[in-house]
Chains A and B, each alone.
Chain A
Amino acid sequence: MSERSDVSKRRGSAPRIVLVTGVARHLGAQVAARLVADPRVERVIGVDLTAPPDELAPLLEGVDLHRVDLRNPEIARLLGDEGVQAVVHLAITTAVDYQSGGRGASKELNVIGTMQLLAACQQAPDLRKLVVRSSTAAYGASFRDPAVFTEDTEPREAPRGGFGRDVLDIEGYVRGFRRRCPDVVATVLRFAPFIGEHAGTRLNRYFALPVVPTVLGRDPRLQFIHVDDGLEVLHRAIVERHPGMYNVAGAGVLTLSQAIRRAGRVTFPVVEPGLSAVAGFAKSSGALDFSLDQLDLFVHGRVVDTTRLIEEFGFEPRSTAAAFDDFIRGAGFGPLGPHRVRAAERSILESIQRIRGTVEGDR
C-alpha cells in the first residue's frame, strides 16, 4: 500500500528530462524556455523539423536542440538514449504553410508525425508523461451544435476543415496510446485560438487589418486564450499530474463584430459564397490565409466549457475579453477607437446645446 502511494507520488512529481516538439515555433520555444527556468526540470530537449529562427534564439538558451523529423524512427532512439521522462507534443500546425507543400504536407506532419512520435513513446522505457496540444477545432462548428461544448460533447458533424480532422485523428492516436500504456499520464489540451499582446498568431494579424472581413448575417461567438495563460496551463500539465482531456479557453464570449468594434476597426461583411474569393485574394496577397476551419468558425462560432480545467488545474485563465484587451494594447486601436467615438459624442452634444442656445437666445 505504502509502496503504491510512493509510486503515485513519484509519478506526480515533476519530470527531470523533458522533450518538447515544435520548438522552432513561438509556442514551443516559450514552453521550452519556461521548462529551462523551472529548477525541478534538469534537462530540456527541443526537437523540430527546421532550425529555429534567430528571433527565438534567446528563448532557446539552455535547450538541447535537435533537428529531427518526427516521421523518422530517429525520434525513438533519442527518447531512449536520453532517458526522456516527459514528452510535450506541440508540433501540430494549425495553418497550412504554402511554402512547404500545402495542405497535404501539413496533414502528413500533423498526423503521421504524431503517429510516429507515439509509437516511439510506447517504447521509451523512462517515459511517464505525455502532453499533447490539441484544439477546440476538434468540435467543428455547425448550426446544429449545442451553444457550449463540454469535453464530453460529441460533435454533430465532423469538422469540415483539414485541421479539425487532423486534430480528431491525433486525439484518436492518443486514446490508443493511453490504452496501450496505462502507466503514462496523458494530458490532451484543447486550446481555443491563441491571442495576446505580442503573439504573432494568425488571429492577431486578422484583427489588425484596417478593414476586417466578416460573413454577412453572421456574428459568431468567439473565445480566445491568452498566450501567457496557455503557457501556464501547458507548464502545469508537464510538471504536475493532470490526466485526461481539458478545454483551455478564457471565460466569457465576444462576438466577432463586438471584438472588431473593440479594436476600433471597421467590419466588411461579405456574403458567404463570396468569402472564399476574398480568402483566395487575401491568400495570394499574403495578408492572411483562410481555411474551411476558419470559415466555419466565422459563421457559427465556438464556445467551450472550462469547468473541468479550472477544477483540475486550480487555475483560471483570464477572460476572453481581457485577453482581447491585451491584444488591443499591442496592436493599437483602428480608426474607430473609443477616444474618437467619445470625442464625436461630446462634439454632437455640444453642438446641440449651442444650436439650442442660439435658438432660445433669439426668442
Chain B
Amino acid sequence: MTDGRYEAADADPTSEGDAWDRRVAGLLALLRHRLTGDYSVDEFGFDKQLTESVFLPALRPLYRTWFRVETYGVKHLPEEGAALIVANHSGTIALDAAMLAVAVHDEHPAQRFLRLLGADFVFRMPGLSEVARKSGSTLACNPDAERLLRSGELVGVFPEGFKGVGKRFADRYKLQRFGRGGFVSAALRTGTPIIPVSIVGAEETYPLIGNIRPLARLLGTPYFPVTPLFPWLGPLGVVPLPSKWLIEFGEPITTEGLADSGDDPMVVFNLADQVRETIQQSLYRLLELRPDPWSA
C-alpha cells in the first residue's frame, strides 16, 4: 500500500503536491485579504469575496446533495443588465432565498449574483443583518430596489413576505397576497423586465403546523414555528427535511414604455396580478412533475 502510493507520487511527482500547495497558498492569501481588510464592499454592503469564497460554498452541499435542486428556464435570466426576479416564498425560514441565490449564480453562465430584498426584521437582528448585507441583500424599499436596478443588478424579491414563509403546511403552494405591489412600481420606473420564478420544495423543509404566539412576541419575531421536529427534537429539529426542489425561471414580462405608470395603481395591480397568476400556474405544473416530495 505504501509502495503503491509512493509509486503514484513518483509517476507524477509534482502535480499532486502542487495542487495542495496551491490550495494552501490560496487559502492563506484569502485569509490575509480578510485580515488586512483588503477587499471591497459596495454601497449596499455586498462583499463579493466573502460571498464567493464562504457563503456560496457553504450553501452548495445543501443545494446539490440535500435538496437535489433542479432548475428550468435559466436562459430567461439576462446575461447582463437588470431584471427583477419575483418568486413565491415558503418554508418557515427563508431557505428558498438562499437556494435561489445559489441557483442564479451556479446555473447561469455569467455567474451573476442575486441581490435580494429583505424584510425590516432581517435588518433589525444583529448578526443576521450583517450576513444579509454582506451576501448582497438590502432592505425591501423602493429607493434601494430602484438604485440596484438602475445599476444593472439582478434583484430578487418575495412579495408575499412573512405571509408566505409563515403560512401553515395545509396552505402549501397557495400564493398569498402580494402586498402593495411596490416591486412592480420599481420595475416600471426603471423599465426592467420582471422574471416570475416558482420554487417547489421549500414548503416541505419545515412543515409549519403551529405557531406559539406569546413566544414570538417575546422574541420579537413574526412567528414562533412549530414543525413535526421543532422544537421537540431540540437542535436536531433545525435540520430541514430533505425534500426535492424544482426552480423554474419563467419568461420575462417586459415593462418598457410604461415608465410613467409607476404610480398608477390600476397598472401596478394588474401587473402584480399577472405575475402572481403566472407563478401560481407554474407551481401547479411543477407539482405535477414532482408527485413525490421525497423523490431523488
Q: Which of B101-148 contact A (CB under 8 A)?
A: 120, 123-130, 133-134, 138-139, 141, 143-144, 147
| Nearest CB of B to A282, in Å | 21
Q: Which of A146-185 contact B (CB under 8 A)?
A: 146-148, 150, 153
Selected interface stretch from B39-47, B79-87, B169-177, B284-292: B39-47
| Nearest CB of B to A325, in Å | 11
| Nearest CB of A to B99, in Å | 24
Contact check, A261 vs B35: say whether CB atoms are below 8 A apart: yes
Let me know if A130 is at the binding interface, CB within 8 A.
Answer: no
Contact check, A146 vs B45: say whether CB atoms are below 8 A apart: no
Interface residues on B, range: 35 or more
Given A153-B143, A253-B41, is A144 in contact with B120 using a C-beta cutoff of 8 Å? yes
Let me know if B265 is at the binding interface, CB within 8 A.
Answer: no
Bound: A349/B32 CA distance, A: 13
Given A147-B139, A147-B144, is A255 in contact with B126 using a C-beta cutoff of 8 Å? no
Let me know if B29 is at the binding interface, CB within 8 A.
Answer: yes
Let me know if B31 is at the binding interface, CB within 8 A.
Answer: yes
Bound: A264/B35 CA distance, A: 8
Given A272-B126, A345-B29, is A253 in contact with B42 using a C-beta cutoff of 8 Å? yes
Contact check, B6 vs A363: say whether CB atoms are below 8 A apart: yes
Bound: A255/B34 CA distance, A: 12
- Interface residues in A, total, Cβ within 8 A: 41
Contact check, A338 vs B38: say whether CB atoms are below 8 A apart: yes
Q: Which residues of A contact B128 (CB under 8 A)?
A: 217
Q: Which residues of A contact B120 (CB under 8 A)?
A: 143-144
Q: Which residues of A contact B54 (CB under 8 A)?
A: none
* A-B contacts, CB under 8 A, total: 101
Q: Which of A291-305 contact B (CB under 8 A)?
A: 301, 303
Contact check, B144 vs A146: say whether CB atoms are below 8 A apart: yes
* Mask of B16-59 contacts with A, CB within 8 angstroms, 1/0: 01000100110011011011111111111101000000000000
Let me know if A241 is at the binding interface, CB within 8 A.
Answer: no
Measured CB to CB, the nearest residue on chain A to B142 is A146
| Nearest CB of B to A348, in Å | 6
Question: Which of the residues B28, B37, B143 comes within 8 Å of A261, measured between beta carbons?
Answer: B37
Measured CB to CB, the nearest residue on chain B to A153 is B143
Contact check, B43 vs A221: say whether CB atoms are below 8 A apart: yes
Q: Which residues of A contact B35 (CB under 8 A)?
A: 261, 336, 341
> What is the interface of chain A, defined by CB distance below 8 A to chain B?
143-148, 150, 153, 215-219, 221, 252-255, 257-262, 264, 272, 301, 303, 321, 336-338, 341-342, 345, 348-349, 352-353, 356, 363
Q: List 22 A-B contacts (CB under 8 A).
A: A144-B123, A147-B139, A147-B144, A148-B43, A148-B44, A217-B126, A217-B128, A218-B126, A218-B129, A219-B134, A221-B45, A221-B133, A255-B41, A257-B37, A261-B35, A262-B36, A272-B126, A301-B45, A336-B36, A342-B32, A349-B28, A352-B24
> What is the interface of chain B, defined by CB distance below 8 A to chain A?
6, 17, 21, 24-25, 28-29, 31-32, 34-45, 47, 120, 123-130, 133-134, 138-139, 141, 143-144, 147
Known: A144-B139, A258-B39. 9 other contacts (CB 8 A): A143-B123, A144-B120, A148-B144, A217-B126, A218-B130, A253-B43, A272-B126, A342-B32, A345-B29
